[in-house]
Structures are given as C-alpha cells and as structure tokens.
Amino acid sequence: MTAVIMAGAPVADAALAEVQAQVARLAGQGRSVGLGTVLVGDDPASAHYVARKHETCERYGIRSVDVRIPASARQADLLEAVDRLNADPAVDGFLVQNPVPAGFDYTEALARVLPAKDVDGLHPVNLGYLALGAQGHPRPCTPLGVVAMLRHYGVPVEGRSVVVVGRGPTLGRPLALLLSLKEPGCNAAVTVVHTGVKDWQEHTRRADIVIGAAGVPNMITPDVVAPGACVVGGGITFEGRKLLSDVDERCAEVAGWVTPRLGGVGVTTIAMLLLNTVKAASARTGPGLSLTG
C-alpha cells in the first residue's frame, strides 16, 4: 500500500493566502495588524520558534513586537510584560512562549492574557469556549492545523473513529474536543489514550484515524495501525538537532494517509497563529473574517 503523504505546506499556504488578503483588507481601512511574543530566558528551540514567527509576520505585512525577559528576572517582570501587551492597542494578539525557565509560572502568565488577545487559543476561557463548541473565539493553533490537513487531503472524519494518543493541554486534549464538535470536517467518535492506558495499541488498531500527540519518538509504529488508516504525527521531540515525530516513518507502508517526519503538521502551526491574529484584528474592527477556524 502506498500512502498519500500529507505535506503541511499546501495547507499552510492556503491559510497564509487568507492572512495576506485580510491584512490587505484591514490596511485598506487604515488598520495594521500586530502580533506580540514574550520569550523568557534563552532556550535555543524557543528562540528559534519565536524567530520564525517574526520572520513570517514580516513576510505577510504583520507588525511584530518581540519582548525578551532574561531568565534572571522575576515572575512580576513577566506579568508586567503581559499587562503592557494587553494594553497596547497596536497589538491585536500575543503569546507567551512555553516552556518558561524554572522559577516562572507559565499558567499564571497565560491566565493574565486577555482572552481576546490569546492567539495561541490556550487561555482557560478560550479552552472553555472550545469545550462548549462556541464559535468566535481563538482556538489552539496546532489542533487547527491538524483539522485543516485532514480537510485538505479529503480524509473522511465525520462519524469515523479517531484515536488521539496524548492528552496534553496544547495538542491532545484540545484536538480531541475540536474533532468531536458537530462541525464540518469534525463530528467524529474520539478516544483519547496515553501511556498510562494499558494496551493502548488495541484502540489505535481499530481506528480510522490515529493522531500521535504525546511527544514520544516513533511510538506509532506500523503494527499499531489498521491498513488504510490515516496516521498523523502531531507530537515532536528533538534528538540533538534531529526532529523526531511520534509517527514512525515506516507507517507509510500500511497507512492510507500519513504525515512526513519533516514538513507535516508543524509547518501549519505558525500559519494558524497568524490566521488567529488577523481574526483578532478583524474582530476589533467589525465584521470581516469568520472566527470559527
């Protein structure tokens, strides 16, 4: 069996084309779009991700604000930075890059972000709206990217069995909520498993769609998925400088659809972040772009 390789670039390009159109529309109304980031400490991976976000902002005409806080600072300094971005009318949305160094409380900082400016979609208020199925509020970026990929590649989702392997608050948990909503391209029967579930592989072997969201390298192997299933690698880890997916590349031998180790879901995340940002800007200026993701 030869699997359809689900590259993320076409999905990201479609989202970024929408971003570009909305930036131009807002510019025609005399409005710029602004995205802020708060980076605490000097973790190389976090610094790389933040740099990519700002580079993409520049490419698509979005003003970016880069706030850096040294690891030697205090929690109060982080909260003060959040307050400044909340109050800045030129910043439509922002995020606090996670993880933060020891001694800082990411959850407290996240809760301090105004929900309307939470373009990561991870504020407790926005996750609550997601659980309720309410539209018009920011939703988490990587789950949005996964759903957009499934739609783009024509993977049947509605009424199908989906197993999400992983329960983290940034991917597994919100993705399970999103896929279970009664919305186009979702409306699935979703099961969440993790390494604490005995024989979790028995669940994945019966699933139409398996999504790795645990951050455990190569845990989804060909023997734990059904022939013809869709296999998505959402979780990633690094082995030195090498990026590893939750999905073993050999799954392409049995799957109907599969994401590649490089260039899969990850490339859609920043695109969805920018889409959330222009949606936030549109919401602040009146009717424009739908906020349903």
What integer pLDDT is reported at residue 204 of this predicted model?
98
Triad 29, 290, 269: Cα angle to 5°? 100
What integer pLDDT is reported at residue 236 of this predicted model?
84
What integer pLDDT is reported at residue 285 of this predicted model?
67
Residue position matching structure tokens 């999504």:
211
Q: Whose CA is closest to 67, among 33, 25, 109, 22?
A: 109
Query: DSSP for 81-115?
Result: HHHHHHH-TT-SEEEE-SS--TT--HHHHHHHS-G
> pLDDT under 70 in the chain at which residues?
1, 285-293
Could you tell me the sign of the dihedral formed by the alpha carbons of 274, 94, 261, 130, in that order? negative
- Mean model confidence pLDDT for the chain: 94
Structure token pair of residue 150: 């499934």
Please return the burial class of 29, using the count of CB atoms within 10 Å of its CB with bins 0-12, 13-18 and 19+.
Answer: exposed
Q: Is 212 helix (H, G, I), strand (E, B) or coil?
A: strand
What integer pLDDT is reported at residue 45 of this predicted model?
83
Q: Strands 63-69, 189-193: parallel, antiparallel or unpaired by DSSP?
A: unpaired
Give the separation between CA 42 and CA 72, rounded to whole angstroms.
Answer: 11
Q: Which amino acid is at 130?
A: L
User: Quick one: CATH architecture of 32-113?
Assistant: 3-Layer(aba) Sandwich (3.40)
What integer pLDDT is reported at residue 292 of this predicted model?
40
Q: At what angle do helices 266-285 and 141-152 cross, to 10 degrees?
A: 110
What integer pLDDT is reported at residue 244 of this predicted model?
87
What integer pLDDT is reported at residue 286 of this predicted model?
55
Radius of gyration of the chain, Cα coordinates, nearest whole angstrom: 19
Domain ranges of the chain: 32-113, 140-267
Q: Could you tell me the CA-to-CA distances from 204 to 10, 207, 212, 224, 277 in Å, in that order?
A: 27, 5, 10, 6, 35
Could you tell me the sign of the dihedral formed by the alpha carbons of 264, 270, 273, 274, in that order? negative
Could you tell me the sign of the dihedral formed by the alpha carbons of 57, 23, 63, 119, in that order? negative
* 140-267 placed in CATH 3.40.50.1820: no
Q: Is the pTM of this model over 0.85?
A: yes
What integer pLDDT is reported at residue 1 of this predicted model?
64
- The yes-or-no answer to whether 32-113 and 140-267 have a common fold is yes
Q: Strands 242-245, 236-239: parallel, antiparallel or unpaired by DSSP?
A: antiparallel
Give the separation between CA 174 and CA 195, rounded to whole angstroms.
Answer: 18
| Helices and strands (DSSP H and E) totals, the chain | 9, 11
What integer pLDDT is reported at residue 291 of this predicted model?
37
